């Protein structure tokens, strides 16, 4: 189905933005979000958000929780050798020996710590739409550094001020 089929009389496209698996359209009356479900095999989904319902568009910076979790898991796996006797016994039975196993656990814990610190220092920015009755997680633009995304948000904000 084409997005043109969802236009209402007098509505015109003003801007288009491809963001990951979504395409956002700014018209003179609303924002339309077109999503393909499971690469298009599961169908398509169209959502709209009239400008009069949009409270704001915020630029939100968050830490990279996904990277932090990976780092913490590596720290835990590395620390198992220090606190769980069965893991130490496992390394005793390996041909590489206990010393190599202990060194591996130190390496895992140190690498995990570095990855966790990296996750804390790396920020992820998204534009989030705020409106009554929507989940901001469902209405976000992740390509915040692109010129196209900044231009799209500027276009939408222009209609919010009218």
pLDDT digits (tens, 9 = 90+) for 73-129: 999 988 887 777 666 666 666 666 656 667 778 888 999 999 999 988 888 888 999
Same domain, 151 and 114: no
Mark whether 88 and 108 lie in a shared domain: yes
Residue 161 belongs to a domain = no
Residues 72 and 105 in one domain: yes
Q: Which domain holds residue 43?
A: 3-52+127-156
Helices (H), 84-146: 85-93, 97-121
Domains of the chain: total: 2
pLDDT mean over 46-50: 91
How, if at all, do strands 30-36 and 44-50 pair? Answer: antiparallel
What is the model's pLDDT at position 98?
Answer: 59
Same domain, 25 and 43: yes
Residue 60 lies in a domain: no
| The pLDDT of residue 13 | 93
**What pLDDT is recorded for position 42?**
62
Q: What's residue 20's pLDDT?
A: 83
pLDDT above 70: percentage of residues in the chain: 85
Provide the 3-class DSSP secondary structure of residue 29: coil
What is the reported pLDDT for 80?
A: 80
* Rg of the chain, C-alpha, whole Å: 24
Structure tokens at 117: 């610190």
The number of angstroms, rounded, from the C-alpha of 58 to the middle of its chain's C-alpha atoms is 15
* Rounded Cα–Cα distance for residues 82 and 153 (Å): 51
C-alpha 135 chain-centroid distance: 14
> Is the pLDDT at 40 greater than 60, yes or no?
no
User: Which of the listed ranges 34-38, 60-64, 134-138, 155-159 does the model predict with the highest average pLDDT?
Assistant: 155-159
Q: Give the per-residue pLDDT at 99.
A: 61
pLDDT at 92: 66
């Amino acid at each position: 189905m084409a997005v043109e089929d969802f236009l209402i009389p007098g509505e015109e496209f003003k801007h288009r933005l491809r963001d990951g698996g979504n395409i956002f359209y700014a018209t003179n009356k609303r924002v339309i979000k077109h999503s393909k479900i499971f690469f298009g095999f599961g169908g398509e989904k169209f959502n709209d958000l009239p400008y009069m319902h949009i409270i704001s568009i915020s630029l939100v910076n968050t830490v990279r929780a996904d990277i932090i979790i990976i780092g913490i898991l590596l720290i835990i796996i590395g620390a198992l050798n220090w606190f769980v006797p069965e893991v130490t016994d496992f390394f005793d039975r390996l041909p590489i020996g206990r010393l190599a196993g202990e060194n591996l656990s130190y390496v895992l814990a140190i690498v995990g710590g570095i990855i966790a610190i990296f996750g804390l220092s790396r920020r992820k920015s998204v534009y989030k739409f705020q409106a009554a009755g929507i989940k901001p997680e469902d209405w976000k633009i992740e390509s915040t550094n692109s010129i196209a995304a900044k231009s799209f948000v500027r276009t939408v904000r222009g209609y919010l001020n009218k």
